[in-house]
A = this chain, B = another copy of it.
């Protein structure tokens, strides 16, 4: 069991009508606010107007960067950092889903660097400073609202790189479940798959660690499985949206990992997929995860699958371990592909094996991924093939 440091200072306003506190929180950090957002859906839903009204009411000066894309590009990071430098921005306000939040974190960091922001992703420069960040979340999925990490894409090099620095942790996040009522069925399903994967990447491990955190993870997974279908069926079900939203934050804010230090498996593989094919991250994870499970299930690992099957899917604990393990994979597939109606193969979304070899090498970073089970490029390519 490893030691760890727990440090999650983000303050969260959770629930309806919390935006009235936005102006007060922003003004703690200065006068000049850069509002960052995506393709404009927040204008359609009226959220943009509400946010701007709070900023104006507080007498803050507003600047804007819009057009941050899903799988956010380094070009947006550079554009944002340019505004911050030119206008002496005091505080960043990210309104959107994980892509907008991730991009904003790197804008905050790149403001203190004079070169191309991609250098940060390449670890050429350390990140020791970042503009303060406040977020208004519109999608329950990535957990970016309560962690210090983010993922940025570079379409020119076809790279997608994730990393994090403590200084990028949001100071305050506003989580209003009603804001997610307009998230469509597909994105709701992808968000559920994403947060489920965040938990599974930690839960499936060979370390002897805190039972307490395993129990918490099982509770979070059960919550996703219970409420994602309800939110898809009835988009304005407050209870479902609230449970999903708060679960998304706790799936990845660091609490559940405790002292576990092993590498993640499905996320690095998926990043290669969405770097080249620009697919939705959660969809890629949904296709990959059950195949990764099938590939890593063996006599040594089956006890963890058994625990997962019994405690998350309620499979009869009296059945043989291997039977429960296999059934747990089947039940996960049913959940992802039948209940959430996500596409179940790469073939279905138009991806063939053209790039598998290259992607597998990149994911393995020329060596071995030491996750739940060690995987080298050859293993990863096989898992990609299982997804066809």
Contact = CB atoms under 8 A, between A and B. Distances in A.
A239 B2 CA distance: 11
A212 B11 contact: no
A376 interface: no
A212 B9 contact: no
B212 A247 contact: yes
Contacts of A227: 211
Interface stretch (A149-157, A218-226, A318-326): A218-226
A2 B246 CA distance: 13
A15 interface: yes
A3 B14 contact: yes
B7 A12 contact: yes
A122 interface: no
A215 B223 contact: yes
A70 interface: no
Contacts of A211: 223, 226-227, 239, 243
Contacts of A18: 3
A250 B256 CA distance: 12
Contacts of A259: 14-15
B8 A8 contact: yes
Nearest to A2: B15
Interface centre among A18, A216, A220, A246 (most CB of B within 10 A): A216
A238 interface: yes
Given A216-B219, A218-B215, A246-B258, A208 B7 contact: no
A212 B248 CA distance: 11
A242 interface: yes
Nearest to A244: B212
Contacts of A184: none
Contacts of A7: 11-12
Contacts of A6: 11-12, 14
A243 B4 contact: no
Interface string A233-269: 0000011001100110010000000110000000000
Nearest to A4: B14
Nearest to A7: B11
Nearest to A176: B3
A78 B13 CA distance: 36
Interface string A11-50: 1111111100000000000000000000000000000000
A210 interface: yes
Nearest to A219: B215
A214 B214 CA distance: 15
A210 B243 CA distance: 6
Given A3-B16, A222-B215, A208 B11 contact: no
User: Residue among A7, A16, A211, A213 with the most chain B CB within 10 A?
Assistant: A211
A246 B210 contact: yes
Nearest to A311: B219
Nearest to A217: B219
12 contacts: A1-B15, A1-B239, A7-B12, A9-B9, A15-B259, A211-B223, A211-B226, A212-B219, A215-B216, A215-B218, A215-B222, A216-B219
Interface of A: 1-9, 11-18, 208, 210-216, 218-220, 222-223, 226-227, 238-239, 242-243, 246-247, 250, 258-259
Given A5-B13, A216-B216, 19 more contacts: A1-B239, A3-B13, A3-B14, A3-B18, A4-B14, A5-B14, A8-B8, A211-B226, A211-B227, A212-B220, A212-B223, A212-B250, A213-B246, A214-B219, A215-B216, A215-B218, A215-B220, A215-B223, A216-B219
Top 6 A-B pairs ranked by shortest CB distance? A3-B15, A215-B219, A6-B12, A212-B223, A7-B11, A9-B9
